[in-house]
Structure 1
Amino acid sequence: MNAVPTNIPDVIAFEPKVFGDARGVFFESFNQKVFEDAVGKHYDFVQDNHSQSSKGVLRGLHYQIEQAQGKLVRVVAGEVFDVAVDIRRSSPTFGQWVGQYLSDENKKQIWVPPGFAHGFLVLSDTAELLYKTTDFYAPAHERCLSWNDSTTNIQWPDIGTAPLLSAKDQQGLSIHQAELFA
């Protein structure tokens, strides 16, 4: 597994070494040592989540203001454009975002550390994501950053129509209004 830096140093993409032949493929999807060497810190993953969505669904940008979750995200079916936004006010990359195409074909993963808002847009007919989290889901602390905030100016792929959002995600706040990390 190769760790690939992104434009935001704390967000890391992971590309597995895939071994394939006529029978199918094999790859190591997680290795604690490789992960820790890449992120420079030990994290315990306490929860695995599975999300399935249809084409055009945009989920996010979610985060927990307390019990902040780091997320290691991968797609096992379909394709998404996955985004992490730095919402740590003291960070030199505050307000910046990074996006990665994750798919069942490229088998890439992205590490979204605590202190980041996370979201994705489904590009294929359906997509299934698996992601590990470093803390438990805490709905009382969940917050949502607006997916189309003009300050963060995320360049989402054009899908030819408006994305499908949950009622909660339609109420996302701008980075200037949202409760953020110090």
Structure 2
Amino acid sequence: MIGDAACAGIHRVSPPYAVSVVVEPVRHYSNKSALLPPPLVELQKLADLLPNLTTSATPQEQVSWSLRRRLEPALVKQITTEYEAGATTPSLCETYGLSKTGILRLLRDEGVALRRRPLRSDQVALAKKMYESGHPIAAIATRLDTSYNNVRQRLIKEGVELRPRGGSYR
């Protein structure tokens, strides 16, 4: 039999499963050395390149998600002034990059009386006619320059039987 030192890389299994596995040296003799973890010295070099994050003396300022805390009082005053002068909430949203809900909450908090734009009787008649001819509520709302919910609620009030949602037609 061969000596133990010579068989260090070979694993022998007794019959009937005569299988042998040969283990190769990896480092300098293999093209798989790139898959091995880098030596400790290289890791230390990379760690030295990073800024020292633990000794930072200036605490980072947390960003508030609250709209009231993010906006300057002068900007809030400007938004309320524009709304009271006749600007619509969608135009304010586009101008200031805020959501409609945020704008409305801000205006409500400032005590501004919110405008409601109910549909006129001719618009209600048109909405009813369009809906009964098969147009979706969203298209009617776009045509009348109002919200989906405004049209929907007015159709219900007029006694129109609404179709199931999802574009189903009779």
TM-score under structure 2 normalisation?
0.20
**1 or 2, which has the higher helix percentage?**
2
Higher RCO (Cα < 8 Å, 6 or more apart): 1
TM-score under structure 1 normalisation?
0.20
